[in-house]
Structure 1
Amino acid sequence: MASVTRRRDRDLQERSTEAETKLVSAVERLLNAGESFTEISVQRIIEEAGVSRATFYAYFQGKPDILRRLAQKIRDASLALAEQWDPGAGEDGADRYTAFFQDVLALHRAHHPVLSAVREVATYDAAVRDFYTADLEGFDEAVLATLLEQQRAGATPSDLDAVAASRVIVWGGAQAMAHHINVDDGSGDAALARELGHIWWYGAYRRPGTTIDQPSSEDMK
């Protein structure tokens, strides 16, 4: 009897996972087809997914929940790339960051419709906005930690304001990539990745230290 119960529970779980996947995939297909997220109705989603309205609301409170689920998949993939960050791995950091940004751009370009929808909905939906900002804040914290670590190691100049620098390169970089994908057909991805990689490395991690000349005794007269 116990084995029958376990099998029944497993079958129910598999059907639940299948229905949820159908709904998420349906929204992704509609976005990739060029439909605006704000104009996609729940009815349109359940028709595309081939499930009932009751099934939809069994898994999601509304459309933004599905959008967050889609964005979570992209976030997980981005974090997997970010885990490869290691500023102390060698002095070829500009090349390594260039390769990193090439991967990030490819990921964002592949999921551009979803990311565009997230940015759009974040302007009026607090939950999506919190998700979006938390995502960037997480990257900001990660970059800040590596900058501070490199300062302690003496590899990054101590006069760098690590907090301000991490904000500029993360938040500014995100906006730059989003705009680039909007206006570029992909032919400029390598150039943008190179510039981002070199700006991160030479503009922050390996920025030349600066000194302030002290006035001489003659100048004081």
Structure 2
Amino acid sequence: MRQGIWKLATVFRATLALSAAVTAMTVSLQTAVVSAAEAATPTVPTVAFLSLDDYASMFGREAAAEIQPTTGPEVFRTTSGKLISTDSGKALAPQRDPGGSTPWYQALWADTDKRGTYVPTRFGDANIGYSHYASRHNLITSAPFRVIRNTSKPIVDQGAHIEYQALLTDLSNGSIKIKVRMVTQAANRTDDGRYVSPDGRNIGTITAYCEGVTKCPAWVNQIT
């Protein structure tokens, strides 16, 4: 009787040991498969618009003059986790005012630089503001303008004429994919006197564009 119980116990222990070995082997195999899959998946770089100040702070150097263009279709990730492909087809149609009732001076958004300069982007018309540059330069997103808040030294600073620069940067290595220039008027009227802001504040954005091209690539507008 005792011998039979001993044999059963021995078989039970052997079964447990075999089960544990199989479990360990399965986990090891699963880990190897996941590691192989991760190794085979290319790293998606994270990009963001930076001011000149932020770029120097993050990378310890001034931004390079040259843009490192994309070579064929590429995929980027925004800081919010959104994936963006540079292979996005034809340009997006700029937003319009179907009724034509929006006054040129209505501010769509506004930012203030580190020196306290107020920079609104007004709806505008064919000559200034959002309506001008959205149509002419295919720039719809407001994302580049947010770097104004982190700018202490604009790239051009000549009286009321102030220009800011937003650098779309690969945060892993500092390579610059796109430079957006924002030309602004820090006065309540344009130099020629054609436009005077009813609110008495700065005219703000005159135009904005992606440097080096007539129209911004459509994928830039996916960065919001």
TM-score over 0.5 (shorter chain)? no
What is the TM-score normalised by the length of structure 2? 0.25
More helix as a share of residues: 1
Which structure: greater strand fraction? 2
Higher Cα Rg, which structure: 2
Q: Please, what TM-score do these two structures have when normalized by structure 1?
A: 0.25
